[in-house]
Amino acid sequence: MIISHTHRYIFFAIPKTGTHAVRQALREGLGEQDLEQVGLFVKKRFPFPEFADIQHGHISTRQIRPVLGDKVFGQYTKFAFVRNPFDRFVSYCAFMSRGSNVFETEPQRYMKWVVREQKPVDHLLYQPQHAMVTGADGRLEIDIVGRNETMQASYDAICARIGLPTTALERVNASRHRPWQEYYDRELVGLVSSQYARDLELFDYRFA
């Protein structure tokens, strides 16, 4: 997460959506009073005791709103990037199985095992994207939703909105795998659709 008092924005870093590329670009415009919480490649922490034990930078709207207060939260432009859940799940499985060849040799079997049996619902990278950016009532609490599929265009539009010069985004920490559509059969589409039903609805994604 980045909180820029200079430019009055809050960037919510949803895992597995290209957040490191966006962070890297946004850092160029940060001022001395701006804050970042991140745990990979760069280690930075917020000066808030509420986050002292959190070692990553994926802070949700529900977590940060009470800390900043409704006035700051309401006045700052809030944005995040999302990704097609089917694509994101492939990336998650490729990332989590690194160090073995199971995803390369039996990807469907591994992916079905993750959803049906492992069910890592407490794992930050597995959790639905909407949990990061919705309130207790389920409503979206951010102003702009960028898309991983059109990342550069989304980033350009966000920069125009918050008054920053845009820059070319680099590819950072990307998982290596084939086109995500190739990993699915009908059963797996159903399993992932059920797991990420709210993401598919809220962010208007489908298997295509």
Query: Which one-letter DSSP state was computed for residue 126?
Result: T
- Give the model's pLDDT for residue 175: 66
Residue 108 has pLDDT above 90, yes or no: yes
CATH of the domain at 65: 3.40.50
Sheet hosting strand 77-82, strand order edge to edge: 35-36, 2-4, 9-12, 77-82, 144-147
151 inside domain: yes
Q: Which residues of 97-126 are buried (b: 16+ CB within 10 A; e: fewer)?
A: beeeeebeeebeebbbebbeeeeeeeeeeb
Cβ atoms within 10 Å of 78's Cβ, excluding its own: 19
- The mean per-residue pLDDT over the stretch 19-38 comes to 94
In sequence order, what are the residues at sequence separation of 6 or more whose Cβ sits closer than 8 angstroms to the Cβ of residue 70? none
207 inside domain: no
Cα(88)–Cα(126) distance, integer angstroms: 9
The total domain count for the chain is 1
93 inside domain: yes
130 inside domain: yes
Our measurement of the distance from residue 103's CA atom to the centroid of its chain's CA atoms, rounded to an integer in Å, reads: 22
Diameter over CA atoms, the chain:
52
Kindly report the backbone phi and psi dihedral angles of residue 152, in degrees, each rounded to the nearest multiple of 5, phi listed first: -65, -45
Q: Range of 6's domain?
A: 2-202
Our measurement of the distance from residue 169's CA atom to the centroid of its chain's CA atoms, rounded to an integer in Å, reads: 16
81 inside domain: yes
Cα(90)–Cα(104) distance, integer angstroms: 11
Render pLDDT for 121-172 as a digit per residue (tens, 0 to 9): 999 999 999 999 999 999 999 999 999 999 999 999 999 999 999 999 987 6
Kindly report the backbone phi and psi dihedral angles of residue 36, in degrees, each rounded to the nearest multiple of 5, phi listed first: -140, 140
- Give the model's pLDDT for residue 12: 98
Residue 11 has pLDDT above 90, yes or no: yes
208 inside domain: no
Query: Which one-letter DSSP state was computed for residue 78?
Result: E
